[in-house]
Amino acid sequence: MAVSLRGARSAATTKSPAKTSALKAALRAPDLAFLMEAHNGLSARIVEEAGFKGIWASGLSISAALGVRDSNEASWTQVLEVLEFMADATTIPILVDGDTGYGNFNNVRRLVKKLCQRGIAGVCIEDKLFPKTNSFIGDGQPLADMDEFCGKIKAGKDSQTDPDFQLVARVEALISGWGLDEALRRAEAYRRAGADAILIHSKRATADEIFAFCKEWANRAPVVIVPTMYYATPTGRFRAAGISCVIWANHNLRAAITAMRETSRKIAVSESLTDTEGAVASVKDVFELSGNSELAEAERRYLPVAGADIRAVVLAASRGAALGELTADKPKCMIDVRGQPLLRLLVSTLKDSGVRDVAAVVGYRKEAVDVPSIDLVANDAYATTGECASLAAAADKLKGACLVTYGDILFRRYLLDRLLEAEGDIVVVADALWRERRRSGPGQIHDHIACSRPFSTGYLDDDTVDLRRIGPDLTDDDIHGEWVGLVKLSAAGSELVRKELGTMKRDGTLGKANMPDLFNRLVAAGHRVRVQYITGHWLDVDDAFDLAKARNFL
């Protein structure tokens, strides 16, 4: 069954005991099992994707893919690194070609321990000498001393930290021309030493000597074969001979060599990609094989995006009459501040903090409001109504966590980031330096606030301050700060505000009410409105003087 690799990275966290027992079961099952060669994480994934139940981590292929010879030129730890990528990329067991065990019994002990740690299901070691030579090179390669090799098998089995880890002993007697009897003698010795299976290797073009071995061996332990040279033998004959496992030993590497050669040559000759594009895997395919969709999902789960789950409603319906001719044909929010409308600057600050869903309530000269990627909601009664009527026009945006901000303010982004982290259902931002800001003039209205305690640099982060009253009519003795025109509502806070706006509509106070009226009503009704003090780093634009300040602010 083909396995979808879309979520392979998470699936690949499958515990290695499941892999060792899967390999053990495959070797012992009456059915013929198949292991397909892979030489890195990508090819291992492709083997799993094709539906194979196990992987052969070929020494020849891993060496060749690293650009070295199959003569232990890659160190065993370099091979181990490749194996780790392969195991991480897949959920099926890997039987690794452990060559001669990279030394004596002691090296085998360490190898087996490390393979168990890295989630490799089994190792195959061969009875030749270190450094090994590939079985298909030359004739009469020297064999290891049989008893010494039995010691390696025992040492390996004694070192496995997973009880189902498989050790396959590879008999090279037929390869080296020692004949069937020697092959059987060695296989039996290795079985007695504790090998879980015997790999009987041959380099003949027919499988006759393999079948002769199987007949005499009579399945004393599972038999594994590598039919690279006797490839023409029908697989049914392997089944009939009672063989446990066939290893297709190097065909992904060889397929890759053919494909890469053809592609490189074609591109080199044509100096173009047009003939190649349709013949190679798409980039999208590469992303899928690498498990990118799982990463995207994990990013959504784990990456903090402050503000990603909060929206904003910007109140921007008023003209800003104190700005005179500047707002003759556009509302205050569209006034130019160094080449950009005020509202666009405000929206960029919101978006920079991750607040993507922004709606602006427009009214005066609404057709002149032109800011990309925001929703517009109209308060057509802007001339005769106040801020609460504008907010009520956007009532269906007041769902979940929500920021409400005046459309004529600018503030440093850190103030917003701090507000986004603040706790509380309704949190208003207030400037403790209200005295420095006080100025009279047309359009200058200061929403002063009285709080449960004054601003102090000595507060601990979690000390809370509550709003008592807000409005332009507080006496100096009562004032602790000035609301900047920015409030954060939790989902519950949005719900409260929506309900209060509904009540105001019913009792006839909605039309004329401004945001401070809303807050005072909420406080009077016993709801907590929290205050987050700041000290400057913001401004509002009511008249030409403010506009000059805004230009310097940028």
The C-alpha atoms of residue 47 and residue 33 are separated, in whole angstroms, by 14
228 interacts with ligand SPV by CB under 6 A: yes
Answer for which of 16, 33, 53, 59 binds ligand SPV (CB under 6 A) is 59
Considering only 57-65, 341-349, 382-390, 484-492, which stretch makes contact with ligand SPV by CB under 6 A?
57-65
| C-alpha pair distances (Å), 85 with each of 46, 78, 396, 471, 479 | 13, 11, 50, 64, 64
Q: Rounded to the nearest 10 degrees, what angle do helices 251-270 and 41-49 cross at?
A: 110
* DSSP notation for 424-463: SSEEEEEES-HHHH---STT----EEEESS---TT--TT-
> By CB under 5 A, is residue 59 in contact with Mg ion?
yes
Residue of 133, 134, 263, 349 interacting with ligand SPV (CB under 6 A): 134
- Residue 404, classed as helix, strand or coil, is strand
DSSP 143: B
Residue 227 contacts Mg ion per CB under 5 A: no
Which string of x and - marks every residue 242-281 that binds ligand SPV (by CB under 6 A)? Answer: -------xx-------------------------------
Phi, psi angles (nearest 5°) of residue 269: -75, -45
Nearer to ligand SPV, 136 or 287 (CB): 136
Residues 331, 364 contacting (CB under 8 angstroms): yes
Window of 10-18, 54-62, 101-109, 419-427 that interacts with ligand SPV by CB under 6 A: 54-62
408 binds Mg ion (CB under 5 A): no
Range in contact with ligand SPV (rule: CB under 6 A) among 58-66, 82-90, 141-149, 188-196: 58-66
Closest separation in Å from C-beta 50 to Mg ion: 22
Q: Catalytic: 145?
A: no
- Kindly identify the residues of this chain, within the stretch 135-164, that bind ligand SPV according to CB under 6 A: 135
Q: Indicate which of ligand SPV, Mg ion, none lies near residue 543 (CB less than 5 to 8 Å, by partner kind).
A: none
| Range 152-155, long-range pairs (CB < 8 A, 24+ positions) | 152/101, 152/104, 152/105, 152/108, 152/125, 153/125, 153/190, 153/193, 153/194, 153/195, 154/105, 154/193, 154/194, 155/105, 155/106, 155/108, 155/109, 155/112
Pick the closest to residue 546 from 306, 332, 277, 291 (CA basis): 332
The site that binds ligand SPV (CB under 6 A) totals a number of residues, namely: 11
Of the ranges 58-66, 271-279, 410-418, 449-457, which one interacts with Mg ion (CB under 5 A)? Answer: 58-66
**Residue 10 interaction partner, one of Mg ion, ligand SPV, none, beta carbon < 5-8 Å per kind:** none
Query: Measured from the CB atom, is 46 or 430 closer to ligand SPV?
Result: 46
**Cα separations (Å) of 151 from 24, 101, 104, 145?**
22, 12, 9, 10
Closer residue to Mg ion, CB minimum distance, 59 or 93: 59
Vertex 39, ends 33 and 40: CA angle to 5°? 115
Q: Binds 90, which of ligand SPV, Mg ion, none (CB < 5 to 8 A, cut-off by type)?
A: none
User: Which of 44, 94, 95, 97 is close enough to bind Mg ion by CB under 5 A?
Assistant: 97
What residues contact residue 3 under an 8 Å CB cut-off, 6+ apart? Answer: 48, 49, 51, 91, 92
Question: In this complex, which beta carbon is closest to Mg ion, that of residue 97 or of residue 196?
Answer: 97
227 binds ligand SPV per the rule CB under 6 A: no
- From the list 70, 127, 162, 431, the catalytic residue is 70
Give the residues across from 199 on adjacent strands.
Answer: 170, 224
Of 55-63, 158-166, 335-343, 389-397: span binding ligand SPV (CB under 6 A)? 55-63
* End-to-end alpha carbon distance in the chain: 61
Question: Could you list the residues that contact Mg ion (CB under 5 A)?
Answer: 59-60, 97
Question: Could you list the residues that contact ligand SPV (CB under 6 A)?
Answer: 58-60, 70, 97, 134-135, 226, 228, 249-250
Active site residues: 70
